[in-house]
Structure 1
Amino acid sequence: MPHDDFAVEPVPGLPERPPEGEVILWQGRPHWWALAKSSVSVLWVAGYFAVLTIWRFVSVVDLMPLDLAIAASLPFVILGAVTCALLVVFAVIQARSTMYTLTNRRVAMRIGAALTMTLNLPYTKIDSADLDLRKDGTGTIALTLQGPVRFSYLLCWPHVRPWHFHTQPALRCIPDAANVARILADAAEARVSIPRVERDLKPIAAE
Protein backbone atom coordinates (compact mmCIF):
# COMPACT_ATOMS: atom_id res chain seq x y z
CA MET A 1 0.00 0.00 0.00
CA PRO A 2 1.24 3.53 -0.69
CA HIS A 3 2.60 5.38 2.31
CA ASP A 4 2.08 9.11 2.88
CA ASP A 5 5.05 10.61 4.69
CA PHE A 6 2.88 13.54 5.76
CA ALA A 7 -0.13 11.55 7.00
CA VAL A 8 0.38 12.99 10.50
CA GLU A 9 -0.57 16.46 9.24
CA PRO A 10 -4.14 17.35 10.24
CA VAL A 11 -4.31 19.41 7.03
CA PRO A 12 -1.92 18.65 4.13
CA GLY A 13 0.87 21.22 4.19
CA LEU A 14 0.04 22.61 7.65
CA PRO A 15 1.35 21.40 11.03
CA GLU A 16 -2.03 22.06 12.67
CA ARG A 17 -5.58 22.91 11.76
CA PRO A 18 -6.14 26.58 10.89
CA PRO A 19 -7.67 28.58 13.74
CA GLU A 20 -11.29 29.69 13.55
CA GLY A 21 -11.78 32.31 10.85
CA GLU A 22 -8.77 31.28 8.76
CA VAL A 23 -9.63 29.92 5.33
CA ILE A 24 -7.37 28.13 2.86
CA LEU A 25 -7.50 29.95 -0.48
CA TRP A 26 -4.96 27.95 -2.50
CA GLN A 27 -2.51 25.08 -2.15
CA GLY A 28 0.07 23.86 -4.60
CA ARG A 29 3.62 22.69 -5.12
CA PRO A 30 6.42 23.38 -7.60
CA HIS A 31 6.29 21.89 -11.08
CA TRP A 32 9.12 19.36 -11.03
CA TRP A 33 10.45 20.09 -14.53
CA ALA A 34 10.34 23.85 -14.05
CA LEU A 35 12.15 23.37 -10.72
CA ALA A 36 14.79 21.19 -12.38
CA LYS A 37 15.44 23.88 -14.97
CA SER A 38 15.39 26.79 -12.55
CA SER A 39 16.95 25.56 -9.32
CA VAL A 40 19.58 23.06 -10.53
CA SER A 41 19.95 24.28 -14.14
CA VAL A 42 19.57 20.81 -15.64
CA LEU A 43 19.55 22.14 -19.22
CA TRP A 44 22.81 24.03 -18.68
CA VAL A 45 24.38 20.89 -17.21
CA ALA A 46 23.18 18.87 -20.20
CA GLY A 47 24.61 21.49 -22.54
CA TYR A 48 27.94 21.42 -20.70
CA PHE A 49 28.31 17.65 -21.15
CA ALA A 50 27.20 17.96 -24.78
CA VAL A 51 30.04 20.42 -25.39
CA LEU A 52 32.50 18.08 -23.66
CA THR A 53 31.32 15.18 -25.81
CA ILE A 54 31.69 17.14 -29.04
CA TRP A 55 35.10 18.45 -28.00
CA ARG A 56 36.29 14.93 -27.19
CA PHE A 57 35.01 13.56 -30.49
CA VAL A 58 36.58 16.35 -32.57
CA SER A 59 39.91 16.02 -30.78
CA VAL A 60 40.27 12.28 -31.50
CA VAL A 61 38.41 11.69 -34.76
CA ASP A 62 41.55 12.45 -36.81
CA LEU A 63 43.65 10.09 -34.71
CA MET A 64 41.55 6.92 -34.81
CA PRO A 65 38.75 5.22 -36.76
CA LEU A 66 35.26 6.70 -36.48
CA ASP A 67 33.88 3.91 -34.32
CA LEU A 68 36.73 4.27 -31.83
CA ALA A 69 36.29 8.05 -31.75
CA ILE A 70 32.62 7.59 -30.90
CA ALA A 71 33.54 5.05 -28.22
CA ALA A 72 36.07 7.47 -26.74
CA SER A 73 33.37 10.16 -26.50
CA LEU A 74 30.74 7.86 -25.01
CA PRO A 75 31.85 8.18 -21.33
CA PHE A 76 30.97 11.89 -21.42
CA VAL A 77 27.49 11.01 -22.70
CA ILE A 78 26.99 8.46 -19.93
CA LEU A 79 28.33 10.77 -17.22
CA GLY A 80 26.14 13.61 -18.44
CA ALA A 81 23.03 11.41 -18.55
CA VAL A 82 23.63 10.13 -15.02
CA THR A 83 24.24 13.63 -13.68
CA CYS A 84 21.11 15.04 -15.32
CA ALA A 85 19.05 12.09 -14.08
CA LEU A 86 20.19 12.72 -10.50
CA LEU A 87 19.31 16.41 -10.81
CA VAL A 88 15.85 15.56 -12.13
CA VAL A 89 15.30 13.06 -9.30
CA PHE A 90 16.31 15.76 -6.82
CA ALA A 91 13.79 18.18 -8.36
CA VAL A 92 11.01 15.56 -8.28
CA ILE A 93 11.69 14.78 -4.60
CA GLN A 94 11.73 18.47 -3.70
CA ALA A 95 8.49 19.10 -5.59
CA ARG A 96 6.67 16.15 -4.01
CA SER A 97 7.80 17.04 -0.47
CA THR A 98 6.74 20.70 -0.80
CA MET A 99 3.36 22.24 -0.15
CA TYR A 100 2.65 25.94 -0.43
CA THR A 101 -0.52 27.26 1.22
CA LEU A 102 -2.22 30.64 0.95
CA THR A 103 -4.88 31.49 3.50
CA ASN A 104 -6.71 34.71 4.22
CA ARG A 105 -4.11 35.42 6.93
CA ARG A 106 -0.73 34.03 5.91
CA VAL A 107 1.56 32.21 3.53
CA ALA A 108 2.60 28.77 4.81
CA MET A 109 5.46 26.85 3.21
CA ARG A 110 6.08 23.22 4.12
CA ILE A 111 9.49 22.55 2.62
CA GLY A 112 12.37 20.12 2.87
CA ALA A 113 12.77 16.48 1.88
CA ALA A 114 15.20 15.22 4.54
CA LEU A 115 14.64 18.00 7.09
CA THR A 116 11.02 19.10 6.86
CA MET A 117 9.98 22.47 8.27
CA THR A 118 7.07 24.86 7.88
CA LEU A 119 7.46 28.61 7.44
CA ASN A 120 4.47 30.67 8.56
CA LEU A 121 4.54 34.16 7.06
CA PRO A 122 1.68 36.46 8.13
CA TYR A 123 0.66 39.03 5.54
CA THR A 124 1.27 41.74 8.12
CA LYS A 125 4.97 40.79 8.09
CA ILE A 126 5.34 40.73 4.28
CA ASP A 127 6.59 43.97 2.80
CA SER A 128 6.25 43.04 -0.89
CA ALA A 129 5.90 40.13 -3.30
CA ASP A 130 7.64 39.92 -6.68
CA LEU A 131 6.49 37.63 -9.49
CA ASP A 132 8.93 36.13 -12.00
CA LEU A 133 6.60 34.73 -14.67
CA ARG A 134 7.80 32.29 -17.36
CA LYS A 135 6.40 31.78 -20.85
CA ASP A 136 4.91 28.40 -19.91
CA GLY A 137 2.83 29.97 -17.12
CA THR A 138 4.98 28.74 -14.26
CA GLY A 139 6.64 31.31 -12.07
CA THR A 140 8.23 32.20 -8.76
CA ILE A 141 6.75 34.55 -6.18
CA ALA A 142 9.47 35.96 -3.91
CA LEU A 143 8.48 37.51 -0.58
CA THR A 144 10.30 40.42 1.05
CA LEU A 145 9.76 40.39 4.80
CA GLN A 146 9.55 43.28 7.20
CA GLY A 147 11.75 43.72 10.24
CA PRO A 148 14.76 41.71 11.39
CA VAL A 149 13.32 38.26 10.55
CA ARG A 150 16.00 36.09 8.95
CA PHE A 151 15.98 32.60 7.47
CA SER A 152 18.94 30.45 6.51
CA TYR A 153 19.47 30.51 2.74
CA LEU A 154 20.93 27.00 2.74
CA LEU A 155 18.16 25.47 4.87
CA CYS A 156 15.43 27.07 2.78
CA TRP A 157 17.01 26.45 -0.66
CA PRO A 158 15.64 25.97 -3.28
CA HIS A 159 12.54 27.70 -1.87
CA VAL A 160 14.19 31.11 -1.90
CA ARG A 161 14.74 33.84 -4.46
CA PRO A 162 17.86 32.73 -6.36
CA TRP A 163 21.05 34.78 -6.12
CA HIS A 164 19.66 36.94 -3.31
CA PHE A 165 21.57 35.98 -0.17
CA HIS A 166 19.46 38.31 1.95
CA THR A 167 17.06 35.40 2.13
CA GLN A 168 13.66 35.94 0.52
CA PRO A 169 11.32 32.95 0.90
CA ALA A 170 9.76 32.10 -2.45
CA LEU A 171 7.02 29.98 -3.93
CA ARG A 172 9.22 28.41 -6.60
CA CYS A 173 8.14 27.31 -10.07
CA ILE A 174 4.42 27.08 -9.33
CA PRO A 175 1.93 26.43 -12.17
CA ASP A 176 -0.54 29.21 -13.07
CA ALA A 177 1.67 31.64 -11.17
CA ALA A 178 -0.15 34.78 -12.36
CA ASN A 179 -3.43 33.59 -10.85
CA VAL A 180 -1.72 32.58 -7.59
CA ALA A 181 -0.10 36.01 -7.41
CA ARG A 182 -3.53 37.64 -7.73
CA ILE A 183 -4.92 35.46 -4.93
CA LEU A 184 -1.97 36.39 -2.71
CA ALA A 185 -2.25 40.10 -3.51
CA ASP A 186 -5.99 40.22 -2.83
CA ALA A 187 -5.67 38.26 0.43
CA ALA A 188 -2.75 40.37 1.66
CA GLU A 189 -4.50 43.63 0.82
CA ALA A 190 -7.66 42.53 2.58
CA ARG A 191 -5.73 41.36 5.64
CA VAL A 192 -3.51 44.42 5.97
CA SER A 193 -6.47 46.79 5.59
CA ILE A 194 -8.17 45.33 8.67
CA PRO A 195 -7.77 47.83 11.53
CA ARG A 196 -5.68 46.52 14.42
CA VAL A 197 -6.68 47.58 17.91
CA GLU A 198 -3.93 47.29 20.49
CA ARG A 199 -4.33 47.85 24.20
CA ASP A 200 -2.17 50.51 25.76
CA LEU A 201 -1.16 49.14 29.16
CA LYS A 202 0.60 52.30 30.28
CA PRO A 203 -1.13 53.93 33.25
CA ILE A 204 -2.86 57.22 32.54
CA ALA A 205 -1.54 60.00 34.71
CA ALA A 206 -4.15 61.69 36.88
CA GLU A 207 -4.81 65.31 36.10
Structure 2
Amino acid sequence: MITEYDDEPVRGLPGELPQGETLLWQGSPDWRLLARSAFFTRIVGLYFAALVALAIYNGSTGGVIATAIAGALGVGLLMLYAWAVARTTVYTLTSRRVVLRIGVALNMCINLPLAKIGGANLRPLGPTEGDLALQLIGPHNLGYLVLWPHARPWKLGHPEPMLRALPDAAVVGERLARAVAAIAPVDRAQQVSAAAGEGVPAHLQGAIA
Protein backbone atom coordinates (compact mmCIF):
# COMPACT_ATOMS: atom_id res chain seq x y z
CA MET A 1 0.00 0.00 0.00
CA ILE A 2 1.27 3.45 -0.89
CA THR A 3 0.53 5.92 1.87
CA GLU A 4 0.82 9.69 1.90
CA TYR A 5 1.60 11.20 5.27
CA ASP A 6 2.37 14.44 6.95
CA ASP A 7 4.12 13.39 10.16
CA GLU A 8 6.64 10.65 10.84
CA PRO A 9 6.58 8.98 14.26
CA VAL A 10 9.89 7.43 13.21
CA ARG A 11 12.14 8.98 10.55
CA GLY A 12 11.46 7.36 7.21
CA LEU A 13 8.55 5.25 8.46
CA PRO A 14 4.79 5.85 8.38
CA GLY A 15 4.35 4.50 11.92
CA GLU A 16 6.07 3.12 14.99
CA LEU A 17 7.76 -0.23 14.57
CA PRO A 18 5.44 -2.96 15.86
CA GLN A 19 6.58 -5.27 18.61
CA GLY A 20 9.00 -7.87 17.34
CA GLU A 21 10.20 -5.82 14.36
CA THR A 22 13.69 -4.33 14.55
CA LEU A 23 15.46 -1.64 12.56
CA LEU A 24 18.46 -3.11 10.70
CA TRP A 25 19.61 -0.23 8.50
CA GLN A 26 18.63 3.21 7.30
CA GLY A 27 20.17 5.44 4.67
CA SER A 28 19.73 7.90 1.82
CA PRO A 29 21.26 8.37 -1.63
CA ASP A 30 24.47 10.34 -2.04
CA TRP A 31 23.21 13.28 -4.09
CA ARG A 32 26.39 13.75 -6.14
CA LEU A 33 26.47 10.09 -7.05
CA LEU A 34 22.73 10.20 -7.76
CA ALA A 35 23.23 13.15 -10.10
CA ARG A 36 25.86 11.27 -12.08
CA SER A 37 24.23 7.83 -12.17
CA ALA A 38 20.50 8.62 -12.39
CA PHE A 39 20.42 12.04 -14.07
CA PHE A 40 23.59 11.67 -16.19
CA THR A 41 24.97 15.10 -15.36
CA ARG A 42 28.41 14.20 -16.73
CA ILE A 43 26.98 13.09 -20.07
CA VAL A 44 24.82 16.20 -20.29
CA GLY A 45 27.82 18.35 -19.41
CA LEU A 46 29.96 16.67 -22.10
CA TYR A 47 27.17 17.14 -24.63
CA PHE A 48 27.00 20.88 -24.03
CA ALA A 49 30.81 21.07 -23.98
CA ALA A 50 30.82 19.53 -27.46
CA LEU A 51 28.25 22.08 -28.61
CA VAL A 52 30.38 24.90 -27.21
CA ALA A 53 33.42 23.52 -29.03
CA LEU A 54 31.40 23.36 -32.24
CA ALA A 55 30.24 26.96 -31.77
CA ILE A 56 33.85 28.05 -31.22
CA TYR A 57 34.93 26.21 -34.37
CA ASN A 58 32.20 27.99 -36.34
CA GLY A 59 33.28 31.32 -34.88
CA SER A 60 29.88 32.05 -33.32
CA THR A 61 30.51 34.11 -30.20
CA GLY A 62 26.80 34.39 -29.47
CA GLY A 63 26.38 30.65 -29.91
CA VAL A 64 29.22 29.94 -27.48
CA ILE A 65 27.71 32.17 -24.81
CA ALA A 66 24.14 30.90 -25.29
CA THR A 67 25.21 27.25 -25.31
CA ALA A 68 27.43 27.65 -22.25
CA ILE A 69 24.62 29.31 -20.31
CA ALA A 70 22.11 26.65 -21.37
CA GLY A 71 24.51 23.89 -20.39
CA ALA A 72 25.26 25.41 -17.01
CA LEU A 73 21.55 25.85 -16.29
CA GLY A 74 20.71 22.34 -17.45
CA VAL A 75 23.40 20.63 -15.37
CA GLY A 76 22.65 22.92 -12.43
CA LEU A 77 18.95 22.05 -12.45
CA LEU A 78 19.70 18.33 -12.65
CA MET A 79 22.09 18.59 -9.70
CA LEU A 80 19.55 20.61 -7.73
CA TYR A 81 16.89 17.98 -8.35
CA ALA A 82 19.30 15.20 -7.37
CA TRP A 83 19.99 17.05 -4.12
CA ALA A 84 16.25 17.42 -3.44
CA VAL A 85 15.62 13.73 -4.16
CA ALA A 86 18.44 12.64 -1.85
CA ARG A 87 17.30 15.03 0.88
CA THR A 88 13.71 13.72 0.88
CA THR A 89 14.53 10.03 0.44
CA VAL A 90 14.98 7.55 3.27
CA TYR A 91 15.52 3.85 2.68
CA THR A 92 14.80 1.58 5.64
CA LEU A 93 15.50 -2.11 6.19
CA THR A 94 13.83 -3.86 9.10
CA SER A 95 13.56 -7.49 10.11
CA ARG A 96 10.23 -7.66 8.23
CA ARG A 97 10.29 -5.23 5.30
CA VAL A 98 12.03 -2.68 3.15
CA VAL A 99 10.51 0.79 3.24
CA LEU A 100 11.09 3.50 0.65
CA ARG A 101 10.12 6.99 1.75
CA ILE A 102 10.30 8.95 -1.49
CA GLY A 103 8.87 12.02 -3.19
CA VAL A 104 10.10 15.60 -3.48
CA ALA A 105 6.83 17.50 -3.81
CA LEU A 106 4.53 14.76 -2.53
CA ASN A 107 5.96 12.33 0.00
CA MET A 108 4.88 8.71 -0.04
CA CYS A 109 5.95 5.57 1.75
CA ILE A 110 6.23 2.20 0.00
CA ASN A 111 6.36 -0.95 2.13
CA LEU A 112 7.90 -4.09 0.62
CA PRO A 113 7.57 -7.21 2.82
CA LEU A 114 10.76 -9.27 2.82
CA ALA A 115 8.65 -12.31 1.92
CA LYS A 116 7.99 -10.68 -1.45
CA ILE A 117 11.65 -9.98 -2.24
CA GLY A 118 13.13 -12.78 -4.31
CA GLY A 119 16.58 -11.30 -4.80
CA ALA A 120 18.65 -8.18 -5.32
CA ASN A 121 21.02 -6.99 -8.06
CA LEU A 122 23.95 -4.79 -7.12
CA ARG A 123 25.21 -2.31 -9.70
CA PRO A 124 28.59 -1.00 -8.53
CA LEU A 125 29.20 2.72 -8.95
CA GLY A 126 32.49 2.86 -7.08
CA PRO A 127 34.62 0.94 -4.57
CA THR A 128 31.76 0.71 -2.05
CA GLU A 129 29.00 2.73 -3.75
CA GLY A 130 26.23 1.32 -5.89
CA ASP A 131 22.56 0.81 -6.70
CA LEU A 132 20.58 -2.10 -5.26
CA ALA A 133 17.62 -3.30 -7.36
CA LEU A 134 15.03 -5.47 -5.62
CA GLN A 135 13.48 -8.37 -7.52
CA LEU A 136 9.86 -8.83 -6.44
CA ILE A 137 8.05 -12.15 -6.36
CA GLY A 138 4.74 -12.36 -8.20
CA PRO A 139 2.55 -9.57 -9.59
CA HIS A 140 2.42 -6.16 -7.96
CA ASN A 141 0.82 -2.79 -8.51
CA LEU A 142 3.91 -0.60 -8.38
CA GLY A 143 4.16 1.66 -11.41
CA TYR A 144 7.47 2.67 -12.95
CA LEU A 145 6.62 6.36 -12.89
CA VAL A 146 5.55 6.14 -9.26
CA LEU A 147 8.92 4.67 -8.32
CA TRP A 148 11.16 6.78 -10.59
CA PRO A 149 13.99 7.56 -10.05
CA HIS A 150 13.96 4.75 -7.47
CA ALA A 151 13.40 2.12 -10.16
CA ARG A 152 15.72 -0.11 -12.13
CA PRO A 153 16.18 1.45 -15.60
CA TRP A 154 14.19 -0.03 -18.49
CA LYS A 155 12.23 -2.50 -16.33
CA LEU A 156 8.93 -1.00 -17.47
CA GLY A 157 6.75 -4.12 -17.64
CA HIS A 158 7.67 -5.44 -14.20
CA PRO A 159 9.24 -2.50 -12.32
CA GLU A 160 11.91 -3.25 -9.74
CA PRO A 161 12.35 -0.82 -6.84
CA MET A 162 15.94 0.38 -6.61
CA LEU A 163 17.85 1.79 -3.66
CA ARG A 164 19.83 4.45 -5.47
CA ALA A 165 23.37 5.77 -5.04
CA LEU A 166 24.10 4.04 -1.75
CA PRO A 167 27.48 4.90 -0.23
CA ASP A 168 27.60 1.41 1.36
CA ALA A 169 25.71 -0.66 -1.21
CA ALA A 170 27.56 -3.95 -0.65
CA VAL A 171 26.99 -3.79 3.10
CA VAL A 172 23.29 -3.07 2.60
CA GLY A 173 23.02 -5.97 0.17
CA GLU A 174 24.53 -8.35 2.72
CA ARG A 175 22.19 -7.16 5.46
CA LEU A 176 19.21 -7.52 3.14
CA ALA A 177 20.25 -11.06 2.20
CA ARG A 178 20.53 -12.05 5.87
CA ALA A 179 17.16 -10.47 6.69
CA VAL A 180 15.41 -12.28 3.83
CA ALA A 181 17.07 -15.57 4.79
CA ALA A 182 15.94 -15.13 8.39
CA ILE A 183 12.25 -15.06 7.45
CA ALA A 184 12.46 -17.91 4.93
CA PRO A 185 11.35 -20.59 7.44
CA VAL A 186 8.15 -18.68 8.22
CA ASP A 187 5.06 -20.71 7.33
CA ARG A 188 3.87 -19.88 3.80
CA ALA A 189 0.29 -19.52 4.90
CA GLN A 190 1.31 -16.80 7.32
CA GLN A 191 3.14 -14.96 4.53
CA VAL A 192 0.10 -15.08 2.26
CA SER A 193 -2.13 -13.91 5.12
CA ALA A 194 0.21 -11.02 5.89
CA ALA A 195 0.42 -10.03 2.22
CA ALA A 196 -3.37 -9.91 2.10
CA GLY A 197 -3.39 -7.62 5.11
CA GLU A 198 -5.26 -9.97 7.43
CA GLY A 199 -4.67 -8.88 10.98
CA VAL A 200 -1.78 -6.66 9.94
CA PRO A 201 -1.69 -2.93 10.73
CA ALA A 202 -2.39 -0.74 7.72
CA HIS A 203 1.14 0.67 7.59
CA LEU A 204 2.56 -2.86 7.31
CA GLN A 205 0.47 -4.01 4.36
CA GLY A 206 2.77 -4.41 1.39
CA ALA A 207 2.68 -2.32 -1.73
CA ILE A 208 2.96 -5.50 -3.75
CA ALA A 209 0.13 -7.45 -2.16
TM over 0.5: yes
Q: 1:108-164 CA distances to partner (integer Å, 9 max, x unpaired)?
A: 100111121111111111111111112242111111111111311111100010121
Structure 2: any 5+ residue segments left out of the alignment?
A: 191-209
Q: Distance in 1 between matches of 2:175 and 2:101?
A: 19
1:65 is matched with none
Write the letter of the residue equivalent to 2:133: A
Q: How does 1:58-77 map to 2 (within 5 A)?
A: 58-60=57-59, 69-70=60-61, 72-77=63-68
* 1:180 aligned residue: 172
TM-score (norm 2): 0.84
Q: CA deviation at 1:82?
A: 0.8
Match of 1:189 among 172, 181, 190: 181
Contact 1:144–1:168 at 8 Å: present in 2 too? yes
Q: Aligned residue for 2:123? A: 132
Provide the residue aligned with 1:54 in structure 2: 53
Classify the secondary structure of the residue corresponding to 1:93.
Answer: helix
Aligned positions, number: 185
Amino acid at match of 1:177: A
Structure-2 residue corresponding to 1:16:
15
Separation in structure 1 between the aligned mates of residue 146 and residue 186 of structure 2, nearest angstrom: 33
Match of 2:203 in 1: none
Letter of the 1:176 counterpart: D
Q: Equivalent residue for 2:202?
A: none
| Residue pair 1:109, 1:118 contacting (<8 A) in 2 also | yes
Q: Does the aligned pair in 2 maintain the 1:150–1:167 contact within 8 Å?
A: no
- Counterpart amino acid of 2:11? P
Q: Match of 1:21, SS?
A: coil
Tell me which moved more, 128-137 or 116-125. 128-137
Q: Deviations over 1:52-94 (max 9, x none)?
A: 000011012xxxxxxxx54541211111001100000000000
Structure 1 portions without partners, runs of 5+: 1-5, 61-68, 199-207
Question: d(CA) in 1 for partners of 2:134 and 2:22?
Answer: 21
Structure 2 CA distance for aligned equivalents of residues 72 and 157 of structure 1: 34
What is the CA–CA distance in structure 1 between the aligned matches of 2:125 and 2:110, rounded to whole Å?
25
Q: Name which one, 1 or 2, has greater alpha-carbon Rg.
A: 1
Tell me the TM-score normalised to structure 1 length. 0.85
1:115 counterpart (82, 106, 109): 106
CA apart distance, 1:7? 7.8
Cα distance in 2 for partners of 1:181, 1:78 equals 41
Percentage of pairs with the same residue:
43
Secondary structure of the 2:84 match is helix
Maintained 8 Å contact 2:89/2:101: yes
CA RMSD of aligned residues (A): 1.6
